[in-house]
Structure 1
C-alpha cells in the first residue's frame, strides 16, 4: 500500500513541478514522514533528504524540457545560482544534525507565513501592471538572496520554490513563466543538498529503513520518480492552459493542503 501511495504521490509531484514549480518538496516531505514513520524521530530528516533527491531529478528534467525563450530570462543570474547552491549545501549540513521537531515545525511555520503573505499582500493573486513592466526589465530574485533562500530551502526540504515563486510572481510574471523559472532555481538548491544527504547519515538513525543510503530513502525516491517523471515530460511538451488568477489561487490552495497534512502528522 505504501508503494502504491508513493507512486500516486509521485504523479502529483510531477504535476506540481510543471504547474507550480515546486519540484515536489512540499508534497513529498509530509508523505515520506508518514511512510518512513518506522525511522522514529529520524523520519523528518529522512523526508527532507529524500525530498532533495526527488526535487533535483524532477527539476532537472523539467528544466531540460522548458522552451529556450523562457530560460533566456536567467541570463546574468550566475551569481544567484551559485549562492543558491552554497546556501543549499549549508542548509543540508545543518539538517543532518538538527532536531526532527525543529525541521517539522520550521516547515509548518514556513508554509503558514507563505500562505498568509500570498493572501494578505497585493501582487500575488493578481500582479499590478507596474510590476509586470518591472518584471520584463530585471530578474526578480536578487543575487544576495540566494544564500538565505538556499539554506532555508535545503534545511526544510522545500527546494526554494515557495520563496522564488512569490518573488517572481510579484515582479509581474504570469504563473506559467514563474513556475518554469522556479525549476532551474530549485535544481541549484537541491543538487548540493542532495549530495550531502547521500554522503552522510550523521544524526539520523536509518537502520529501520531497508533502502537507506546516507540519509536518503532510495526506495521511496525511486517510487516517487516512477510516478513523477512521465508526467513532467508529458506536461512540459503539452503544458496545461490555466487562467492566471486561478493558477495563483491553486498554488496557495495546495500550500494550505500540505500545511494541513503536516499539522495532522504533528510529532
Structure 2
C-alpha cells in the first residue's frame, strides 16, 4: 500500500509540485494508526523527509531554463526555511488532533479559494508570459508559507502553485517551480523531526521510528516515487492547461475527504 501511494506521490511531485505531503500524510496516519493520536505527528515528520528526497530529485531533473524563473528569490528561500523551522518546532508541541483538523481546514479553504477567486481556473492574464519575469512570490510571504507548510506537513506547494499560476505561469511551470521551494521548507522541517526526541518506546513498538520519522514508511514511499519522477521528467505528459488546473483542485478534494474520514474514525 505504501509503495503504491509512493507511485502516486511521484506523479503528484512532477505534475503538481506536491513532494509527498498531501498524499503521504493521510496514508501514514492510516498505516501508523497503532500510535493513536501521535500518528498525525509521525505522519507530518515522515512526509517532510519524503518531500526532501522527492523535491530534490525533481529539482535536479528540471530543465535549467524553467528554474531560471526563480532567479533573485534568495530572500524568499531563506524566509521559507526560517518559517519551516518554526512550524516544525510548533507541531511537536501542538495536540495531534488540532494538527489534523487544521490540515483539513487549510486544504478546504484553499479549494474554495481556487474555485471562487479568478486567476487559477480562470486566468486573468495570458498564460506563459512571465516565465522569464520577476520572482513568483514576494519574499515577505516566505515565513508564513514555510511555517504553515511545515506545521501541517504539506510542503507549501498548495500556496506557491496558485500564486505562480495567478502570476501567469502555466500549470507545468508553476508545478516545476514548486519543487525547489518545497525543498527549502522540507529540509529544516526534516532536521527538526530527526533531531528531536522520539515517542515513548511502547508507543512505537510496531513502528520503526528515527526521531519522529517512520523510517519504514518513508523508504516504501520513496521506493515507489523516485522511479516515477525520473520517468515523468524525461517524458512529461501533455495535459491541456485548463484540465491540469481542474485536476489540481480534484486532488485537493480527495485529500480533504481522506483526512476528514481519518479524523472522524478517531
Fold shared by both chains (TM-score > 0.5): yes
- 1:230 aligned residue: 227
- 1:265 aligned residue: 262
- 2:195 aligned residue: 199
Matched, 1:243 2:240: yes
- 2:44 aligned residue: 48
SS for the counterpart of 2:168 is coil
Note the alpha carbon deviations across 1:70-128, whole angstroms, 9 max, x for none. Answer: 01111100010011011111100111121001110110000000000000011101312
TM-score for the superposition, normalised by structure 2: 0.95
Is the 2:69–2:133 contact (alpha carbons within 8 Å) kept by the matching residues of 1? no
The runs of 5 or more residues in structure 2 that have no matched partner are none
Counterparts of 1:184-223 in structure 2, within 5 Å, are 184-201=180-197, 206-223=203-220
**Pick from 169, 175, 180: which aligns with 1:173?**
169
**Pick from 97, 117, 124: which aligns with 1:121?**
117
Is the 2:104–2:256 contact (alpha carbons within 8 Å) kept by the matching residues of 1? yes
Note the alpha carbon deviations across 1:175-231, whole angstroms, 9 max, x for none. Answer: 000000000000000001001001113677752343100000000000000000000
Deviation at 1:135, TM superposition (A): 6.3
Is the 1:84–1:189 contact (alpha carbons within 8 Å) kept by the matching residues of 2? yes
**Pick from 18, 24, 46: which aligns with 1:22?**
18
**Change in CA separation of 1:202 and 1:91 when aligned onto 2, cut-off 3 Å:** farther
**Change in CA separation of 1:165 and 1:208 when aligned onto 2, cut-off 3 Å:** same
**Change in CA separation of 1:231 and 1:150 when aligned onto 2, cut-off 3 Å:** same
Q: When the two structures are aligned, how many residues end up with a matched partner?
A: 263
Cα distance in structure 2, aligned partners of 1:122 and 1:135: 20
Is the 1:96–1:203 contact (alpha carbons within 8 Å) kept by the matching residues of 2? no
- 1:76 aligned residue: 72
**Change in CA separation of 1:130 and 1:240 when aligned onto 2, cut-off 3 Å:** closer
The runs of 5 or more residues in structure 1 that have no matched partner are none
Matched, 1:67 2:89: no
Is the 2:7–2:221 contact (alpha carbons within 8 Å) kept by the matching residues of 1? yes
**Change in CA separation of 1:32 and 1:204 when aligned onto 2, cut-off 3 Å:** farther
Cα distance in structure 2, aligned partners of 1:72 and 1:248: 23
RMSD, aligned α-carbons: 1.5
Cα distance in structure 1, aligned partners of 2:84 and 2:206: 25
Cα distance in structure 2, aligned partners of 1:213 and 1:231: 26
Is the 1:135–1:171 contact (alpha carbons within 8 Å) kept by the matching residues of 2? no
